[in-house]
Structure 1
């Protein structure tokens, strides 16, 4: 009753101040490029409604299906054997020539191989799976979608990946932006031999672990197989790179680009950690060791950084270098070994998970991470264009900042800047910070 009374007081206060108040229910993401996903693991289907997609963009079903095929179950022995084609249906938002018309795009994937009896005809219908969302969903809503975990299932991410495929195309047309993820760590087996400037999706997909370092990938596969045969599960890390991102995306103070990327990636099922650039390892360095020194690219005349420990983001705003993020994923909660738990009515029992589950979520998590990065970046691109590119900067060139990043070029070329610069003269600067 106290909670209800407090809520009513808040609503009354908002009303008296003429402040619109709405409840967030957690199924939508984005501001200018906005998605709302829907559906449950064992329902009739799952999907997404995408609002804010620019008109006059050609989108084919095959482009979207390509990303969904990388996410779907049943790909290999180290993924869930659930047999789903995940064939997407585009219900609205395109004309007969596959051109976006500016209205909401609705996409549906029907569930074909759900086996609700795996959950309903045994103790899983009353007992909470340890470390799963069963108990917390029940605590929140007071009712359970037992089969497959309902909305807590990774099957919900189908809508994100479908919308992310459209975001990916927009980003590529806007500035040649590429988003590529790979498995960089499985438990303690890690690769640091991937060139973030040159690796390709073909390099990633040439093995079922999706690690472009073949030697390390083989060790990862052995570890996953070892765990899989015992009915257990393991976790690890997905690294994601965004290339050709222009400088200037993101904003102060609460809309920092890495803050929005963190929210996006941490909303993925089983995600437990997020890093940008040097991440936690950067805390071991001094400022001198960690700072990315600037220089002038001799070919383009643009401002660049000699290193990229910032991960392409400084002060919450992209600096034009590769955006580098890492997302840590926990081991799959549902396992085939006995664990202690409780039932819905508070009885202590033992539970062995049934059903079909990934022994390691990482290979299928890559398109999920890529999708959330794409959705975040296209949202920030559209906000940047709306706020800062609505009117062109017509100030004389000498009063404009030197362009930044891998895709930037200085008007007149680097020779103009070279004649103006004096690299042998040190600049002294006093900065008083809080």
Structure 2
């Protein structure tokens, strides 16, 4: 199955299925000398872990185990392999619906491509959101490397269904969403989102969400002209996440309702540095980073697996059938999806930073390591967590 890898220098390959023994990732291109611990990885995994409030009740511990590429607590320059065991697998329900593909899922497209006999129908198999564990693992390492550039990434829920936070959202607003059960961008919306989710859960339904990401401390000049534009690679990275159906950079589609004179971002000088006055286009122009904050949004569709009866086709008879999806699913996949979006953003930025020579591709100096470790400590201390924090 091709298409399991992403990146050119910082290259990530994921493996494993939802109901298999484990999921994992191989990360190639990590320079030697980077301090990496399982605690570093688990810190990031905590924010996409199931079994909490308003997410899938599947009880996975999501504890990372490093099996190659790290010695004495530091990367060796060899490919790094990290796995997470699946400990709460229950495939019984999927036996009853393997001949009735779930609408809105990848079931039927996978059958079309690989054949029914080769399709892993247990929990979506390779197409399951469980695969994103591997992305968050790779994202944790990417985030550590970005500390060398003082680049930090924060995501949050900007809208849940029909409720939208229409006020300005800063980097710190987004980062503090980690403290909230719904990942709301603003504290006063957390309880509002919770009330909506409780209603959705009681009705056996699901709801979509829009995730906003703000990247602070972006170096100037990231991105390649034409086909490897930074915005193009970011869009591919985000759109590859299960459940994502839209990507919007800066003011996005709003620009189509404006005149050119209204959105022609003015150049200004601030502290002897050329800046953009409004950053309308999300920190990327011509596919190359401007040094302003990268700001984008992505849309997660409502979870396709719901308890309400839904019509499908029985593959044995080609007749209509009704199914009710009774597995363990998120009422809103966008909540845990925030961590995945952050991870894919970090992976993309690190790859481009290494291609630009801003992050060493062979080995880190002792000074590099000190900068990274100090930045990582500051990053983890920016948000104070509650009792359920890592």
Which of 319-328 and 281-290 deviates more? Answer: 281-290
Distance 1:87 1:198 in 2: 27
Q: State which of 334, 338, 342 in structure 2 corresponds to 1:366.
A: 338
Query: What is the match of residue 254 of structure 1?
Result: 227
Gaps of 5+ in 1: 1-23, 390-434
Deviations 1:382-402 (A, max 9, x none): 111189x9xxxxxxxxxxxxx
Distance 1:115 1:100 in 2: 36
Query: What is the match of residue 300 of structure 2?
Result: 329
Deviations 1:310-336 (A, max 9, x none): 100011100000000101000011110
Distance 1:386 1:64 in 2: 23
Tell whether the 8 Å contact from 1:266 to 1:274 is kept in structure 2 after alignment: yes
Q: CA deviation at 1:281?
A: 1.1
Deviations 1:341-397 (A, max 9, x none): 01223221011101100010111001100000000000100111189x9xxxxxxxx
Query: What is the match of residue 159 of structure 2?
Result: 185
Q: CA deviation at 1:200?
A: 5.6
Query: What is the match of residue 404 of structure 1?
Result: none
Q: How does 1:180-329 map to 2 (within 5 A)?
A: 180-199=154-173, 201=175, 203-297=176-270, 299=271, 301-329=272-300
Tell whether the 8 Å contact from 2:173 to 2:186 is kept in structure 1 after alignment: no
Deviations 1:112-169 (A, max 9, x none): 001011211x2x1210001100000011000221111101100001111001000001
Tell whether the 8 Å contact from 2:174 to 2:214 is kept in structure 1 after alignment: no
Deviations 1:21-74 (A, max 9, x none): xxx811111101001100000000000000001111111111110111111111
Distance 2:292 2:234 in 1: 16
The two structures, once aligned, show a CA RMSD in angstroms of 1.5
Q: State which of 354, 358, 361 in structure 1 corresponds to 2:326.
A: 354
Q: State which of 134, 141, 166 in structure 1 corresponds to 2:141.
A: 166
Query: What is the match of residue 348 of structure 2?
Result: 376
Q: CA deviation at 1:217?
A: 2.5
Tell whether the 8 Å contact from 1:194 to 1:212 is kept in structure 2 after alignment: no
Runs of 4+ that moved beyond 3 A = none
The structure with the largest alpha-carbon Rg is 1
1:51 is the counterpart of 2:17: no
Query: What is the match of residue 100 of structure 1?
Result: 75
1:27 is the counterpart of 2:4: yes
1:72 is the counterpart of 2:44: no
Distance 1:28 1:200 in 2: 28
Q: Aligned residue pairs: how many? A: 357
Distance 1:251 1:210 in 2: 33
1:38 is the counterpart of 2:15: yes
Tell whether the 8 Å contact from 1:119 to 1:354 is kept in structure 2 after alignment: no
If the length of structure 1 is used for normalisation, what is the TM-score?
A: 0.80
If the length of structure 2 is used for normalisation, what is the TM-score?
A: 0.89
Tell whether the 8 Å contact from 2:231 to 2:284 is kept in structure 1 after alignment: yes
Which of 361-370 and 282-291 deviates more? Answer: 282-291
Gaps of 5+ in 2: 362-390
